[in-house]
Chains A and B, each alone.
Chain A
Amino acid sequence: MTSAPEPAEMDIVTPGRSGWRNLSFVWLVPILALIVSLGVAWKTYSERGGLIEITFTTAAGVTPGETTIRFREVVIGTVETVGFTDDLTQVVVHARIDQEILPFLDAEAQFWVVTPQVTTRGISGLSTVLSGVYIEAAWDATSTGALTRFTGLETPPLVQAGRAGKRITLRTTPGVGVSEGGPVLYRGLEVGRLEKPRLAEDDKTVVVDAFIEAPHDERLNSASRFWDTSGFSVSFGASGFALNVDSISSLIAGGVAFDNIYEGGNSVEAGYVYDIFYDEAEARASVFAPTLGTAITVSVAFTESISGLTAGAPVQLGGLNVGEVTAIAARIVETADGPEVRLIANLGLDPQKLGLGAEAGADEVFNFLDRQVAEGLRARLGTSGLFSSSLIVELVNLPDQPKLAFNRNEEPFPTVPAVTSDLPDFTSTVEGVLERINRLPVEDTLNQAIRTMASVETLLSNQDLLAMPGEATGLISDARSLMADEDIQALPGELRGAVADLRSVVSELREQGTIDALSASIKKLDDTLANVSTASEDFPKLMQDLRDLAAKANSLEAEQLLASATKVLNSVDGLIGTEEAKKLPPALTGALDEVRLMLSELRDGGVVENVNATMESARKAAGAVETATADLPSVIDRLDSVLARADGLVAAYGARSDFNSETLSMLREVRAAAKMVGQLARTIERNPNSLIMGR
């Protein structure tokens, strides 16, 4: 480089301006950027929101930086940190809440973790399955001083703060199935929810708050009555079978329903206390009824046994329930005769039911009792029903009682004087009735029935019977129907009658034959004597006697007897020939045949022959007498013997001429025969086989 090119002359425009003037407009850009950045920073800072602290027992699924806080499903903040309290018993969640929301977070604000839930009321929080849990917040529209520390709820509140409605308190006895979340129904519509039941301060009743949503809370008034609808009721009556279930939800969760029992109740304030009745009927019946809290307690000291009286037993005045027995206890009372055990029953009396008005307090009740006791009001045990053993307490007016005063200042409770009840009498009356019922031969009848059943059963289960051919079975069923037949049952009687007839016939026949023979021989004798009378002077007297005897014998109506015997025989024949008799099993038929045989024997055989023989012998005797007339002494000797015989006969006849005795003996015979038939019948009953198989 030896020579540098000559620099050209430049037309130089010098700025000639001050440093500030020379400032480039590009500087606007960083200034703008700064402004924007600062603006963004300020915006971020101002919108950062306030930090609040929520305490939970558990915080399942709450993640710092992710879990949001929502109000009416709109995100209002985010959880920043999750930590513990100092003693590690609680989880502390710090969350940043939008600035504009913060003023509303007052003491009313509620926070709870929303997780998927399946309950009887439905399924909720399902969206959190995928998105994760969030913290829901609720508060009312008014702000009463912002707070930054809150205690989270374990479960979503049944009634979120800020909902329109009315919160009331329901009172119930333990055992009524109310549970948290149970529905409150009004004519079948769900209008509210039960909150968590808790024990009342007196530990006797269960108290549960209920929230009735607007506009249904306007239906609540002093005429409203609540009743339990949990579970279902089954009724069975003339109209059929009815199953009532109010709602499945209340069936599971246990709910209550209410209705206005009468028109024109006064409106009530929030927090009004209602009672829950056992069922709707009871609720409706309670219009004039009392609430549990208004009962006035008095006590009664009974001297007699109160076995059967229990707490809860009604107290009646003139048949109306005016209260109930609240407690029973024994107490030693000092009397003039030394200590004595008194059985104390506390009665809870309801002023309203006594007619004293709903507002009546203890004083009004005591005033009332004052007057009444002076007029003879006494407590007495009574029974609640005819066959019930449980007792009630009756308040009765007995004017003839000695004057007693009602001491309202007695401790622990004023005592209403008691009188001995007339219960034992009543009991004995009932006992008498029962005794009489007891005496009814129910047992015998039953035993008879059982025996009959047993014998039928034996008959039916008999192996022989089962082995028998069908014909025999048919025969047996025939026999059974025959046995059951009234005619056959009457058969022994008929047989008995027939046999009795037979007996009488037989005996009469026997007599008849004798008489015939006698009369014949006497006739002969008469003839003979007529011959003989000439032979002896002393004879006529004897002859006269004999003639008398013959006349006597003739007076017996032999013809009639024979006719009746024939008739009897015919009837027996007819009986044997009847269809029923034919149906009788062979053995019975055989028996009847035997009877028939006997009868025919009687008819055609022995007796007649005997009679004939007697007559023959008498004839022979007459012949002998006839021949003896020739030889009188021997005739008289023979006649003597004949007369002696006749005398004995007549004497015997005379002595027993009373037909009654004859009848008696005949009856005895008949009875024996009847016994035989009876035995036969029993044998048949005991062992029906014998009918078929023979003995």
Chain B
Amino acid sequence: MENARRTGLILTAQRAGLIGCSGCGRVHDRPVSHCLRCARPLHARKPNSLQNVWAWLVAGLLAYIPANLYPMLITQNFGKEYQSTIIGGVIELMGHGSYAVALIVFFASVVIPIGKFLAIAYLAISIQSAVVIRGHGRQHLYEVVEFVGRWSMIDVFVVAILAALVQFDFAATINPGIAAVSFALSVAFTMLSAQSFDPKMIWDAYEADDT
């Protein structure tokens, strides 16, 4: 059992009767409903955190579907028009022998977003129900998700830069497809989802495991 390796009871701020203001960071040990310094409402935990996580996650997932079905890039080259989806682009790059670039695109556009969906979903589920990994692991997972999330925008940046630079009329023109917007939204939604997640709940759940 994981829990067997636990060294001892973790004292949380909530259990110690302290509430930190989410705005200015002042810690209150008295029972007040609003911050004495900046007058914000005080919450020991983010309200509706899990709900928001799930909502953003679902929105991100919904946005991710068209991002893969619709073309990401619309390339016009001497009158010929090419439309490439994310996976189509990866396959094409591999066909051209650019395995490294294909790998990067594949990771940035497919592996990371999907991994993020899974990770956030797992964290949300693990808090609400039975614990699968111990608290530190969950904390690490959350940090990785937070860190990696922004890098998913690489794809969107590439599309934005190409679309802005390659406008040579007949010779070559690149325009973003619907998928680019969808993908950007998807990434944004997952980032919001990750942000909605209150990591303090990891430890609440940790304690709950004990009791």
Residues of A in contact with B (beta carbons under 8 Å apart): 1, 4-13, 22-24, 26-27, 29-30, 32-34, 37, 40-41, 44, 66, 127, 130-132
Q: With a CB–CB cut-off of 8 A, which chain B residues contact A13? A: 33
CA distance A40 to B70 in the complex (A): 10
Q: With a CB–CB cut-off of 8 A, which chain B residues contact A131? A: 78-80
CA distance A34 to B56 in the complex (A): 12
Residues of B in contact with A (beta carbons under 8 Å apart): 8-9, 11, 15-19, 29-33, 44, 48, 51-52, 55-56, 58-59, 61-63, 65-66, 70, 78-82, 178, 182, 185, 189, 196
The residue of chain B having its C-beta at the shortest distance from the C-beta of A130 within the complex is B78
- The minimal Cβ–Cβ distance linking A79 to chain B, given in whole angstroms, is 13
With known contacts A26-B55, A29-B55, A41-B66, A8–B80 Cβ distance under 8 A? no
Q: With a CB–CB cut-off of 8 A, which chain A residues contact B33? A: 11, 13
CA distance A290 to B118 in the complex (A): 92
CA distance A40 to B29 in the complex (A): 52
CA distance A358 to B16 in the complex (A): 122
Pairs A-B, 8 closest by C-beta atoms: A131-B79, A8-B17, A11-B31, A30-B59, A7-B17, A30-B58, A26-B55, A33-B62
Instruction: Say yes or no: B79 contacts A22, CB within 8 Å.
Output: no
Q: With a CB–CB cut-off of 8 A, which chain A residues contact B182? A: 37
Q: With a CB–CB cut-off of 8 A, which chain B residues contact A8? A: 16-18, 29-31
Say what secondary structure dominates the interface of chain A: loop
- The minimal Cβ–Cβ distance linking B124 to chain A, given in whole angstroms, is 13
Instruction: Say yes or no: B79 contacts A11, CB within 8 Å.
Output: no
- The minimal Cβ–Cβ distance linking B125 to chain A, given in whole angstroms, is 17
Q: With a CB–CB cut-off of 8 A, which chain A residues contact B48? A: 22, 24, 26
| Pairs across A and B, CB under 8 Å, 28 listed | A1-B11, A4-B11, A4-B15, A5-B16, A7-B17, A9-B17, A10-B17, A11-B31, A12-B31, A13-B33, A22-B48, A22-B51, A23-B51, A24-B55, A26-B51, A27-B55, A29-B56, A30-B56, A30-B58, A30-B59, A30-B62, A32-B59, A33-B59, A33-B185, A33-B189, A37-B66, A40-B178, A132-B80
Q: With a CB–CB cut-off of 8 A, which chain A residues contact B61? A: 30
Instruction: Say yes or no: B31 contacts A10, CB within 8 Å.
Output: yes
The residue of chain B having its C-beta at the shortest distance from the C-beta of A29 within the complex is B59
With known contacts A33-B62, A33-B189, A132-B80, A9–B31 Cβ distance under 8 A? yes
The residue of chain A having its C-beta at the shortest distance from the C-beta of B11 within the complex is A4
CA distance A132 to B78 in the complex (A): 9
CA distance A40 to B177 in the complex (A): 12
CA distance A6 to B17 in the complex (A): 8
- The minimal Cβ–Cβ distance linking B65 to chain A, given in whole angstroms, is 6
Inter-chain residue pair count (beta carbon < 8 A):
84
Instruction: Say yes or no: B51 contacts A24, CB within 8 Å.
Output: yes
CA distance A11 to B19 in the complex (A): 11
CA distance A7 to B32 in the complex (A): 14
Q: With a CB–CB cut-off of 8 A, which chain B residues contact A66? A: 80-82
Instruction: Say yes or no: A7 contacts B55, CB within 8 Å.
Output: no
Instruction: Say yes or no: A1 contacts B31, CB within 8 Å.
Output: no
Instruction: Say yes or no: A132 contacts B79, CB within 8 Å.
Output: yes
Instruction: Say yes or no: A40 contacts B66, CB within 8 Å.
Output: yes
Q: With a CB–CB cut-off of 8 A, which chain A residues contact B15? A: 4, 7
Q: With a CB–CB cut-off of 8 A, which chain A residues contact B9? A: 1
Q: With a CB–CB cut-off of 8 A, which chain A residues contact B52? A: 24, 26
CA distance A515 to B3 in the complex (A): 199
Instruction: Say yes or no: B31 contacts A127, CB within 8 Å.
Output: no
Instruction: Say yes or no: A29 contacts B178, CB within 8 Å.
Output: no
CA distance A23 to B50 in the complex (A): 11
CA distance A37 to B196 in the complex (A): 23
CA distance A127 to B32 in the complex (A): 77
Instruction: Say yes or no: B32 contacts A11, CB within 8 Å.
Output: yes
Q: With a CB–CB cut-off of 8 A, which chain A residues contact B65? A: 37
The residue of chain B having its C-beta at the shortest distance from the C-beta of A32 within the complex is B59
- The minimal Cβ–Cβ distance linking B58 to chain A, given in whole angstroms, is 4
- The minimal Cβ–Cβ distance linking A496 to chain B, given in whole angstroms, is 108
Instruction: Say yes or no: B79 contacts A26, CB within 8 Å.
Output: no
The residue of chain B having its C-beta at the shortest distance from the C-beta of A67 within the complex is B80
CA distance A37 to B70 in the complex (A): 11
- The minimal Cβ–Cβ distance linking A37 to chain B, given in whole angstroms, is 5
Instruction: Say yes or no: A5 contacts B17, CB within 8 Å.
Output: yes
Instruction: Say yes or no: B8 contacts A130, CB within 8 Å.
Output: no
Q: With a CB–CB cut-off of 8 A, which chain B residues contact A1? A: 8-9, 11
CA distance A55 to B55 in the complex (A): 52
Instruction: Say yes or no: A27 contacts B17, CB within 8 Å.
Output: no
Q: With a CB–CB cut-off of 8 A, which chain B residues contact A127? A: 79
With known contacts A7-B15, A23-B51, A26-B56, A34–B81 Cβ distance under 8 A? no
Contacting residue for B79 out of A32, A37, A130, CB 8 A: A130
- The minimal Cβ–Cβ distance linking A435 to chain B, given in whole angstroms, is 84
Q: With a CB–CB cut-off of 8 A, which chain B residues contact A24? A: 48, 51-52, 55
CA distance A8 to B29 in the complex (A): 6
